[in-house]
Chain A
Amino acid sequence: MPTTRPKNEKIIALFFLGLLGFNYPLLALFSRNSLIFGIPFLYLYLFVLWTLFIGFIALLLEKNSPPPPPLAGKKSTRPSGK
């Protein structure tokens, strides 16, 4: 599946970014008792980051995705033993 490989790498990178963003110590920066636009800072951060994360994944997957290969008929070039 050579066509999906570069995309895979981007998604894995995104995964690790998300893992960082949703955890200590970045999280600790936003753990404070204050409101931004009337919304608690921590929740605003979490939900905005969450939305961005989903948005980027959707963007990666939906943007010029090649026509999916048929499931059957994926024959290897190697002659099979049968």
Chain B
Amino acid sequence: MLQQWHILLASISYLGLLFGIARFADKRADAGRSVISNPYIYTLSIAVYCTAWTFYGSVGRAASTGAGFLPIYLGPTLMAALWWLVLRKIIRISKINRITSIADFIASRYGKNTRIGGLVTLIAVVGIMPYISLQLKAVSTSFQVLVHFSTAQIPTPGSPAVWLDTAFYVSLIMAIFSILFGTRHIDATERHEGMVAAIAFESLVKLLTFSAVGIYVTFFMFSGPADLFSWIPQYPKLGPLLQLDTLPGGYANWLSLTFLSMMAILFLPRQFQVLVVENVDERHLKKAMWLFPLYLLLINIFVVPIAFAGLMLFPEGDIDPDTFVLTLPLIEGQNLLALFAFLGGLSAATGMVIVATVALSTMVCNDLVMPILLRIEKLRQRDLSGVLLAIRRGSIIAILFLSYFYVRLIGESYALVSIGLVSFTAVAQFAPPILFGAFWKGASRRGAMSGLLAGFLVWTYTLLLPAFASSGWLAESFLTHGPWGIDWLRPSQLFGLIFFDPVTQAVFWSMFANIGLLVGVSLHSRQDSIERVQATLFVDIFKKDAISGDAYLQRGTAMVSDLQSLVARFIGLTRTLKAFNGYARTRGIELLDDVHADANLIEFSERLLSGAIGAASARIMVSSVVHGEAEAMSMDGVMRILDETSQVIEYSQRLEIKSRELEAATKELQDANERLKELDRLKDEFVSTVSHELRTPLTSIRAFSEILLTTPSISNDEQKRFLGIIVKETERLTRLINRILDLAKIEANQIEWNPEKVDLRAVVDEALQSTSQLFLERNVHLDTTLPHWPVPMVVDRDRIMQVVINLLSNAVHFCPRNNGQVTVRIYENRDAVSVEVADNGPGIPQEEMERIFEKFHQLKNIEDGKPKGTGLGLAISKRIIEFHRGRIWVAGRPGGGAIFTFSLPRPTNDLQSGPDIPPRTAAP
């Protein structure tokens, strides 16, 4: 038999123990030996997620929907897998920007704007109120059950007078306790180590007590789970709970609850508080990522056994399944176990209430009240650290009593879990602005603002108003027939969406409105400069080495002393001096009171302040002491942005150049390849030509020699003629071979040059004489226009003569027989002497004019279509002339025929010096 004072004494002692733990942790933290700086305490503190909802409500939900209680824990399990990607980024952003709450995060991301911070705070307070009221209701109900169960006086539903209402006193105690834990001093910038240690301990207690009840029920009331479940066939009501068919809303509900809890684990204000603000080291995440799901698994293992056992033992349904955790031990007479369980439930509830109210009061203070207060000029000049504390304490009390008010309002009409889901849907509205904000630079303030507002309105309409309606504050017809009887405006089936249960359709419509507006408006609105800077700072948090995002923005100038006294008004003089001295020390500078602070110091002060009063308020305060243009881009900022941009441009330009070079090189290679192929082809042709040319004289030499050898009766005349032919053919052979050797020598640069002073006229004359026989044979007329005075040159006489002879013999060969006409001319100008050989042959096609000088190249289709000569003469000539730094070319002659010309530079005054290193530019 439990007396009321037993329970009260146990509760007060337990809370006292918690407070002792908190004090101990605080002391250790002050001494620099933190007890919470390890991943295990971190994990246990995250388990503040498991509230009275889990402790009592899960069993209740399992008793009515079977597995329907599980998505609330499966969602966080899944989400935890993504923490290293998502949460680590949020933690890093928050640490660098000294962010202390969700409202602060969103306000800071969207341009340190007070209005959006205020809106987030409003949503958070209104949204979390039902959740806190759930805890109050759970604690007071459990207390009633414990006191009255044995006397069979289950409290009658209905609202007793306030001073008789347990929930009222629970609220009062919780408020005092939260104030003691969360707002002992104003250093709200820093973490609440004591609070974290206490809630970690509470997490341990609730896991142990719940498991104790579970083990007792499963193994002592029944002999193991198999025994427990084997009774199911006896109770036809239990059968459906084994399946998911009893789930209201079916699989869509399951999915939407999974989604809601995934968002809730990150964005419930208290989860944000323990996960982000109280995080000591982001590496602790790695352990928490699997330890926290493990905690969830453990605390849920006995939910089903307890629920089933409860349904079997209280088949009449007169006991609220939400209280099975207490009533099962009580009915067995295990009062101590029941008291133990009550303390576990108390742990779950107080943990949630403390962290949630502390988080909410920070938001209310920093993002709702301060921005308004700071607009009052008089207040700006006063020491505000006391005011801050008062605001926070006041808001804790206000929040708790609003929640109490909500409990009385809603009364008994809702189960625990349904109340909680209303809050989950509200905080899910924070997910789009935070997640889009952390990963998409384009998300703009207007977008976030309109998305949040729309999501919140949808939530109010579809979940909050129906709660009021069902408790009689609004006409019942509002739910059943829609406002003013408009059927498609019914809150639970908005726009006639009848497939979903109320929560799922609220999630769907609010997310639809929230994300749709966030993305849509962001795409159509421009961000101002501070918004852009913050967006970059948030999204690229892992890319920037510096933490000075705001250094982009010059804020004008301020005196160091002004900044110091401003900060001191909020966080106290001692801490301010400590912080400023630390700043000066790390930068290696000395801070003098009467000098102008640089942009970095201004930004440092702002960040210091934002830890105490939030980013938006801090910005307003700092602006009050900073003179000059606010929010203009600083030169430094502009230069840095320019620097980055120009670097990118430079990279891309370099890339372009490289690719162009590559293209050019490829083209060159292709050309070279083409040329090589052509040369290869020419060589093949040449080889076949040469062998043909060599074979022709050889064949005739051999044929005539054989005739001479085998035919003794041959006449003398015949013999002579044959021998003549043999000699001629041998000469031809020799000539050919000489040519090849010549060319090879020139090519290999092995030839010996003998430059000497000669009269070019004489050289040409001699060449004409040695070819005169040819002219006669072919009956070609020769015209010569030679100067009457000597033309002195320094050349290799034999080689030049070879060139002239080659040109002459070519001319003769290509002239028509009998009426051929060849003209040879020497003409001079100031720098050069030219020798010209013109014929009246068929001429040379335009496209051949360049290539005719290439070796192995032969003109075809002349007279008999057979190439004449060796195809080497002109190639050799060209090399000889080029060796003498001259030029050789061919031109067409009007009326047919070709003109070959070579010109040689006149020797310089010192005639002795011959041509030196030959320019081999024309070598193929």
A interface, CB within 8 angstroms of B: 1, 4, 8, 11-12, 14-15, 18-19, 22-25, 27-28, 31-35, 37-43, 46-47, 50-51, 53-54, 57-58, 61, 65, 68, 71, 74-76, 78, 80-82
Contacts and interface: CB of A to CB of B under 8 A. Distances in A.
A38 B226 CA distance: 4
A33 B67 CA distance: 13
A28 B244 contact: yes
Contact of B301 (A14, A22, A47, A82): A47
B251 A32 contact: no
A80 B639 CA distance: 11
A11 B88 CA distance: 15
B177 interface: no
A57 B282 contact: no
Nearest to B287: A61
A68 B545 CA distance: 18
Interface string B73-95: 01001101110110000000000
Nearest to A34: B242
B226 A37 contact: yes
Contacts of A1: 542
B226 A40 contact: no
B545 A74 contact: yes
B225 A19 contact: no
Given A39-B226, A75-B545, A82-B548, A8 B85 contact: yes
Nearest to B552: A81
A43 B304 contact: yes
B639 A71 contact: no
Interface stretch (B288-296, B663-671, B857-865): B288-296
B378 interface: no
B283 interface: yes
A33 B239 CA distance: 7
Given A11-B81, A57-B293, A80 B546 contact: yes
Contacts of B293: 50, 53-54, 57
A42 B82 CA distance: 26
A50 to B, nearest CB: 5
B266 to A, nearest CB: 14
16 contacts: A11-B81, A12-B81, A18-B77, A18-B81, A31-B243, A31-B244, A33-B240, A38-B230, A40-B229, A42-B244, A46-B70, A53-B78, A54-B293, A54-B297, A61-B289, A61-B290
B242 A38 contact: no
B757 to A, nearest CB: 69
Contacts of B85: 8, 11-12
A22 B156 CA distance: 40
Given A47-B301, A51-B297, A4 B84 contact: yes
A27 B77 contact: no
B849 interface: no
A23 B251 contact: yes
Contacts of A53: 77-78, 81, 293
B290 A57 contact: yes
Contacts of A51: 297
B721 interface: no
Interface string B51-81: 0000000000000001100110010011011
B243 A15 contact: no
A23 B254 contact: yes
Contacts of B636: 81
Contacts of B543: 76
B505 interface: no
A75 to B, nearest CB: 5
A65 B286 contact: yes
A55 to B, nearest CB: 8
Interface in B727-765: none
A42 B640 CA distance: 59
Interface in B216-232: 224-227, 229-230, 232
A34 B290 CA distance: 31
Nearest to A59: B290
B140 interface: no
Contacts of B548: 82
A58 B294 CA distance: 10
Q: Which 10 A-B pairs have the closest CB atoms?
A: A38-B226, A24-B251, A76-B545, A58-B290, A81-B640, A31-B244, A15-B81, A31-B243, A57-B290, A40-B242
B225 A54 contact: no
B544 interface: yes
A81 B544 CA distance: 11
A19 B255 CA distance: 9
A7 B754 CA distance: 79
B245 A31 contact: yes
A38 B228 CA distance: 9
Contact of A27 (B224, B240, B251, B551): B251
Interface in B270-327: 281-283, 286-287, 289-290, 293-294, 297, 301, 304
B203 interface: no
A58 B283 CA distance: 14
A82 B304 CA distance: 61
Nearest to A78: B545
Interface string B554-585: 00000000000000000000000000000000
A54 B546 contact: no
Nearest to B241: A40
A50 B244 contact: no
Which residue of A14, A31, A65 has the most chain B CB atoms within 10 A of its CB atom?
A31
A33 B242 contact: yes
Contact of B244 (A18, A19, A27, A81): A27
A35 B230 CA distance: 8
Interface string B589-626: 00000000000100000000000000000000000000
Nearest to B250: A24
B643 interface: yes
B133 interface: no
A81 B258 contact: no
Contacts of B226: 37-39
A24 B255 contact: yes
Given A33-B243, A61-B290, A81 B643 contact: yes
Given A24-B251, A53-B77, A54-B77, A12 B82 contact: yes
A3 to B, nearest CB: 12
Nearest to A8: B85
Nearest to B293: A54
A38 to B, nearest CB: 3
Contacts of A74: 545
A14 B779 CA distance: 100
B510 to A, nearest CB: 21
Contacts of A35: 229-230, 232
Given A39-B229, A50-B74, A81-B546, 7 more contacts: A8-B85, A18-B78, A22-B258, A24-B255, A43-B67, A57-B293, A68-B283
B251 to A, nearest CB: 4
Contacts of B82: 11-12, 15
Contacts of B544: 76
A41 B258 contact: no
Nearest to B82: A15
A32 to B, nearest CB: 6
